Amino acid sequence: MKLVVRLFYAFISFLFAPALLAQSADLSVQQNQSLLWRISGNKLTAPSFLFGTMHLICEDDFLWTNKMRESLDKCEKVCFEMDMDSPGLMMEVAAGMVDNSGKKLEDYFKPDDYQFLKKYLRDSLDMDIAMFANMNPMALETVISTREVSCPNSISYEDTIMKTAQAKKKEVMGLEEAKEQLAVMNSIPPDTLVLELMDEVRNGGRNDEEYRKMVVAYKEQNIVALHNMISVSADIGPDMALFLDERNIKWIPRMADKMKKSSVFFAVGAGHLWGDNGVINLLRKSGYTVEPWR
Protein backbone atom coordinates (compact mmCIF):
# COMPACT_ATOMS: atom_id res chain seq x y z
CA MET A 1 0.00 0.00 0.00
CA LYS A 2 2.93 2.38 0.67
CA LEU A 3 3.99 2.08 -2.97
CA VAL A 4 0.41 2.64 -4.15
CA VAL A 5 0.19 5.89 -2.15
CA ARG A 6 3.52 7.09 -3.48
CA LEU A 7 2.53 6.23 -7.04
CA PHE A 8 -0.72 8.14 -6.61
CA TYR A 9 0.81 11.40 -5.41
CA ALA A 10 3.63 11.09 -7.93
CA PHE A 11 1.02 10.59 -10.66
CA ILE A 12 -0.83 13.82 -9.90
CA SER A 13 2.53 15.62 -9.77
CA PHE A 14 3.78 14.43 -13.16
CA LEU A 15 2.84 17.46 -15.25
CA PHE A 16 5.06 19.67 -13.11
CA ALA A 17 8.10 17.41 -13.19
CA PRO A 18 11.36 19.34 -13.80
CA ALA A 19 11.98 17.08 -16.79
CA LEU A 20 9.27 19.11 -18.49
CA LEU A 21 10.79 22.49 -17.60
CA ALA A 22 13.67 23.12 -19.97
CA GLN A 23 14.09 26.89 -19.60
CA SER A 24 13.38 29.63 -17.11
CA ALA A 25 11.01 32.54 -17.75
CA ASP A 26 10.74 36.20 -16.86
CA LEU A 27 9.67 36.30 -13.22
CA SER A 28 8.76 40.00 -13.17
CA VAL A 29 5.49 40.92 -11.46
CA GLN A 30 2.63 41.39 -13.92
CA GLN A 31 -0.62 43.19 -13.26
CA ASN A 32 -3.04 40.30 -13.17
CA GLN A 33 -0.85 37.57 -11.68
CA SER A 34 -2.63 35.40 -9.18
CA LEU A 35 -3.05 31.75 -8.26
CA LEU A 36 -6.66 32.44 -7.25
CA TRP A 37 -9.37 33.67 -9.64
CA ARG A 38 -13.00 34.57 -9.01
CA ILE A 39 -15.56 33.29 -11.55
CA SER A 40 -18.86 35.15 -11.87
CA GLY A 41 -21.44 36.28 -14.41
CA ASN A 42 -23.06 34.18 -17.15
CA LYS A 43 -26.15 33.64 -14.96
CA LEU A 44 -24.25 32.17 -12.02
CA THR A 45 -26.21 32.58 -8.79
CA ALA A 46 -23.00 32.66 -6.73
CA PRO A 47 -19.32 33.09 -7.63
CA SER A 48 -16.96 30.12 -7.87
CA PHE A 49 -13.17 30.16 -7.59
CA LEU A 50 -10.29 28.75 -9.62
CA PHE A 51 -7.04 27.97 -7.79
CA GLY A 52 -3.75 26.83 -9.34
CA THR A 53 -1.97 24.17 -7.34
CA MET A 54 1.56 22.86 -7.25
CA HIS A 55 0.97 19.22 -6.53
CA LEU A 56 3.96 18.70 -4.21
CA ILE A 57 5.93 21.46 -2.50
CA CYS A 58 8.18 21.82 0.55
CA GLU A 59 6.39 22.86 3.72
CA ASP A 60 8.43 26.10 3.98
CA ASP A 61 7.30 27.08 0.46
CA PHE A 62 3.62 26.33 0.99
CA LEU A 63 1.60 29.43 0.04
CA TRP A 64 -1.90 29.73 1.47
CA THR A 65 -3.24 33.26 1.95
CA ASN A 66 -6.30 34.51 3.81
CA LYS A 67 -8.04 35.12 0.47
CA MET A 68 -7.43 31.52 -0.52
CA ARG A 69 -8.74 30.24 2.81
CA GLU A 70 -11.80 32.50 2.71
CA SER A 71 -12.63 31.53 -0.87
CA LEU A 72 -12.49 27.84 -0.04
CA ASP A 73 -14.73 28.43 2.98
CA LYS A 74 -17.33 30.28 0.87
CA CYS A 75 -17.77 27.49 -1.66
CA GLU A 76 -20.22 24.65 -1.18
CA LYS A 77 -18.16 22.11 -3.13
CA VAL A 78 -14.54 21.40 -4.07
CA CYS A 79 -13.44 20.06 -7.45
CA PHE A 80 -9.98 18.70 -8.37
CA GLU A 81 -8.68 17.30 -11.64
CA MET A 82 -9.84 13.92 -10.28
CA ASP A 83 -12.19 13.03 -7.45
CA MET A 84 -9.55 12.83 -4.74
CA ASP A 85 -11.70 11.19 -2.08
CA SER A 86 -13.01 8.41 -4.31
CA PRO A 87 -12.34 5.15 -2.38
CA GLY A 88 -10.89 3.27 -5.34
CA LEU A 89 -8.90 6.08 -6.96
CA MET A 90 -5.42 5.15 -5.71
CA MET A 91 -5.83 1.51 -6.71
CA GLU A 92 -7.19 2.55 -10.12
CA VAL A 93 -4.11 4.70 -10.73
CA ALA A 94 -1.77 1.92 -9.61
CA ALA A 95 -3.57 -0.64 -11.78
CA GLY A 96 -3.26 1.68 -14.77
CA MET A 97 0.52 1.57 -14.45
CA VAL A 98 0.78 -2.21 -14.67
CA ASP A 99 2.40 -3.26 -17.95
CA ASN A 100 0.07 -5.42 -20.03
CA SER A 101 2.38 -5.78 -23.02
CA GLY A 102 4.10 -8.91 -21.70
CA LYS A 103 7.33 -7.01 -21.04
CA LYS A 104 9.11 -6.58 -17.74
CA LEU A 105 10.37 -3.13 -16.75
CA GLU A 106 13.99 -4.10 -17.42
CA ASP A 107 13.12 -5.03 -21.01
CA TYR A 108 12.75 -1.34 -21.84
CA PHE A 109 16.29 -0.44 -20.78
CA LYS A 110 19.82 -1.17 -21.93
CA PRO A 111 21.50 -3.46 -19.36
CA ASP A 112 23.91 -0.75 -18.17
CA ASP A 113 21.13 1.81 -17.84
CA TYR A 114 18.99 -0.60 -15.88
CA GLN A 115 21.82 -1.29 -13.42
CA PHE A 116 22.42 2.45 -13.05
CA LEU A 117 18.72 2.96 -12.39
CA LYS A 118 18.66 0.13 -9.89
CA LYS A 119 21.53 1.71 -7.93
CA TYR A 120 19.96 5.16 -8.15
CA LEU A 121 16.66 3.94 -6.67
CA ARG A 122 18.45 2.14 -3.88
CA ASP A 123 20.86 4.94 -2.98
CA SER A 124 18.70 8.02 -3.59
CA LEU A 125 15.16 6.88 -2.89
CA ASP A 126 15.72 3.84 -0.67
CA MET A 127 13.56 1.76 -3.03
CA ASP A 128 14.03 -1.64 -4.62
CA ILE A 129 13.54 -1.61 -8.38
CA ALA A 130 11.94 -5.05 -8.05
CA MET A 131 8.83 -3.23 -6.77
CA PHE A 132 8.33 -1.95 -10.33
CA ALA A 133 9.13 -5.18 -12.17
CA ASN A 134 5.64 -5.59 -13.65
CA MET A 135 4.95 -1.90 -14.21
CA ASN A 136 5.46 0.26 -17.27
CA PRO A 137 8.15 2.99 -17.46
CA MET A 138 5.54 5.63 -16.63
CA ALA A 139 5.22 4.23 -13.10
CA LEU A 140 8.92 4.70 -12.50
CA GLU A 141 8.97 8.13 -14.16
CA THR A 142 6.14 9.42 -11.97
CA VAL A 143 7.96 8.38 -8.79
CA ILE A 144 11.38 9.69 -9.86
CA SER A 145 9.87 12.96 -11.07
CA THR A 146 9.04 13.84 -7.46
CA ARG A 147 12.63 13.38 -6.31
CA GLU A 148 13.28 17.11 -6.67
CA VAL A 149 11.05 17.83 -3.65
CA SER A 150 14.07 17.25 -1.44
CA CYS A 151 12.92 18.47 1.95
CA PRO A 152 12.02 16.77 5.23
CA ASN A 153 8.32 17.60 4.88
CA SER A 154 6.62 17.96 1.50
CA ILE A 155 2.98 18.98 1.19
CA SER A 156 0.32 18.24 -1.40
CA TYR A 157 -2.07 21.13 -2.05
CA GLU A 158 -4.72 18.65 -3.16
CA ASP A 159 -4.40 16.62 0.03
CA THR A 160 -4.47 19.74 2.22
CA ILE A 161 -7.51 21.22 0.47
CA MET A 162 -9.31 17.88 0.47
CA LYS A 163 -8.84 17.42 4.22
CA THR A 164 -10.25 20.89 4.81
CA ALA A 165 -13.22 20.11 2.57
CA GLN A 166 -13.88 16.83 4.35
CA ALA A 167 -13.65 18.46 7.79
CA LYS A 168 -16.26 21.03 6.71
CA LYS A 169 -18.49 18.42 5.06
CA LYS A 170 -18.05 19.81 1.55
CA GLU A 171 -18.64 17.53 -1.40
CA VAL A 172 -15.45 16.63 -3.31
CA MET A 173 -15.66 16.13 -7.08
CA GLY A 174 -13.40 15.67 -10.11
CA LEU A 175 -13.20 17.14 -13.62
CA GLU A 176 -12.09 13.87 -15.18
CA GLU A 177 -11.73 10.21 -14.34
CA ALA A 178 -8.42 8.51 -13.57
CA LYS A 179 -8.66 6.54 -16.82
CA GLU A 180 -8.68 9.81 -18.78
CA GLN A 181 -5.45 11.02 -17.16
CA LEU A 182 -3.92 7.57 -17.52
CA ALA A 183 -4.75 7.58 -21.22
CA VAL A 184 -2.80 10.84 -21.63
CA MET A 185 0.19 9.50 -19.71
CA ASN A 186 0.20 6.16 -21.46
CA SER A 187 0.08 7.83 -24.87
CA ILE A 188 3.74 8.83 -24.44
CA PRO A 189 5.94 6.32 -26.32
CA PRO A 190 7.91 4.11 -23.88
CA ASP A 191 11.19 4.88 -25.67
CA THR A 192 10.63 8.60 -25.07
CA LEU A 193 9.91 7.97 -21.40
CA VAL A 194 13.03 5.87 -20.99
CA LEU A 195 15.24 8.58 -22.53
CA GLU A 196 13.70 11.28 -20.31
CA LEU A 197 13.95 9.10 -17.23
CA MET A 198 17.65 8.31 -17.74
CA ASP A 199 18.39 11.97 -18.43
CA GLU A 200 16.62 12.87 -15.21
CA VAL A 201 18.54 10.45 -12.99
CA ARG A 202 21.89 11.38 -14.58
CA ASN A 203 21.30 15.16 -14.31
CA GLY A 204 19.75 15.56 -10.89
CA GLY A 205 21.54 18.86 -10.16
CA ARG A 206 20.14 20.53 -13.26
CA ASN A 207 16.64 19.32 -12.45
CA ASP A 208 16.92 20.67 -8.89
CA GLU A 209 17.75 24.13 -10.26
CA GLU A 210 14.78 24.06 -12.63
CA TYR A 211 12.48 22.98 -9.83
CA ARG A 212 13.60 25.88 -7.64
CA LYS A 213 12.88 28.34 -10.49
CA MET A 214 9.41 26.89 -10.70
CA VAL A 215 8.89 27.29 -6.93
CA VAL A 216 9.99 30.94 -7.12
CA ALA A 217 7.48 31.60 -9.91
CA TYR A 218 4.75 29.80 -7.97
CA LYS A 219 5.33 31.74 -4.75
CA GLU A 220 5.23 34.98 -6.75
CA GLN A 221 1.90 33.72 -8.15
CA ASN A 222 3.38 34.13 -11.62
CA ILE A 223 1.19 31.79 -13.64
CA VAL A 224 2.50 33.38 -16.84
CA ALA A 225 6.04 32.25 -16.03
CA LEU A 226 4.85 28.77 -15.06
CA HIS A 227 2.98 28.42 -18.34
CA ASN A 228 5.98 29.68 -20.32
CA MET A 229 8.30 27.21 -18.60
CA ILE A 230 6.15 24.36 -19.82
CA SER A 231 5.37 25.72 -23.28
CA VAL A 232 9.04 26.32 -24.19
CA SER A 233 10.13 22.90 -22.95
CA ALA A 234 11.90 20.80 -25.53
CA ASP A 235 10.65 17.66 -23.80
CA ILE A 236 6.93 18.36 -23.88
CA GLY A 237 7.04 19.82 -27.42
CA PRO A 238 4.02 18.88 -29.52
CA ASP A 239 2.48 17.07 -26.56
CA MET A 240 1.51 20.47 -25.09
CA ALA A 241 -1.97 20.17 -26.61
CA LEU A 242 -2.40 16.68 -25.22
CA PHE A 243 -1.17 17.47 -21.70
CA LEU A 244 -2.88 20.83 -21.23
CA ASP A 245 -4.90 22.34 -24.08
CA GLU A 246 -7.17 19.41 -24.93
CA ARG A 247 -7.85 18.70 -21.29
CA ASN A 248 -8.60 22.38 -20.57
CA ILE A 249 -11.09 22.53 -23.46
CA LYS A 250 -12.77 19.37 -22.20
CA TRP A 251 -13.03 20.76 -18.67
CA ILE A 252 -14.94 23.98 -19.51
CA PRO A 253 -18.44 22.49 -20.06
CA ARG A 254 -17.90 20.25 -17.03
CA MET A 255 -16.99 23.27 -14.91
CA ALA A 256 -20.00 25.17 -16.26
CA ASP A 257 -22.35 22.34 -15.29
CA LYS A 258 -20.96 22.17 -11.75
CA MET A 259 -20.99 25.98 -11.20
CA LYS A 260 -24.58 26.20 -12.42
CA LYS A 261 -25.71 24.05 -9.49
CA SER A 262 -23.58 25.48 -6.66
CA SER A 263 -20.48 27.51 -5.81
CA VAL A 264 -17.32 25.46 -6.46
CA PHE A 265 -13.67 25.81 -5.48
CA PHE A 266 -11.75 24.38 -8.45
CA ALA A 267 -8.16 23.33 -7.67
CA VAL A 268 -6.10 22.26 -10.70
CA GLY A 269 -2.41 22.37 -11.61
CA ALA A 270 -1.29 25.99 -12.05
CA GLY A 271 0.04 25.17 -15.53
CA HIS A 272 -3.57 24.85 -16.71
CA LEU A 273 -4.52 28.44 -15.88
CA TRP A 274 -2.73 30.70 -18.39
CA GLY A 275 -2.47 30.82 -22.19
CA ASP A 276 -4.80 31.07 -25.16
CA ASN A 277 -6.16 27.65 -24.28
CA GLY A 278 -5.78 28.13 -20.54
CA VAL A 279 -8.78 27.68 -18.29
CA ILE A 280 -8.99 31.42 -17.51
CA ASN A 281 -9.21 32.46 -21.16
CA LEU A 282 -11.55 29.62 -22.10
CA LEU A 283 -13.94 30.55 -19.29
CA ARG A 284 -13.92 34.16 -20.45
CA LYS A 285 -14.67 33.07 -24.01
CA SER A 286 -17.62 31.13 -22.60
CA GLY A 287 -19.09 34.32 -21.15
CA TYR A 288 -17.80 34.28 -17.56
CA THR A 289 -16.10 37.12 -15.74
CA VAL A 290 -12.80 35.77 -14.43
CA GLU A 291 -10.75 38.14 -12.28
CA PRO A 292 -7.64 37.77 -10.09
CA TRP A 293 -8.53 37.49 -6.41
CA ARG A 294 -5.60 38.42 -4.12
pLDDT digits (tens, 9 = 90+) for 99-117: 888 899 999 999 999 999 9
Percent of the chain with pLDDT over 90: 46
CA atoms of 70 and 60, how far apart (whole Å): 21
Q: Rounded distance, CA 80 to CA 266, Å?
A: 6
Q: Are 243 and 15 spatial neighbours (Cβ–Cβ below 8 Å)?
A: yes
| Residue 259, pLDDT above cutoff 50 | yes
Half-sphere exposure of 164 toward its Cβ, with a 13 Å CA cutoff? 21
- In DSSP terms, which residues pair with 267 in a beta bridge? 51, 80
pLDDT at residue 264 in the model: 98
Give φ, ψ of 86 to 5 degrees: -65, 125
Per-residue pLDDT, 144:
77
Question: If you average pLDDT over residues 8-34, what whole number do you get?
Answer: 48
pLDDT of residue 236: 46
How many Cα neighbours within 13 Å face the side chain of 113? 15
Note the pLDDT of residue 15: 43
Q: Which residues pair with 80 in a beta bridge?
A: 174, 267
For the chain, give the mean pLDDT.
82
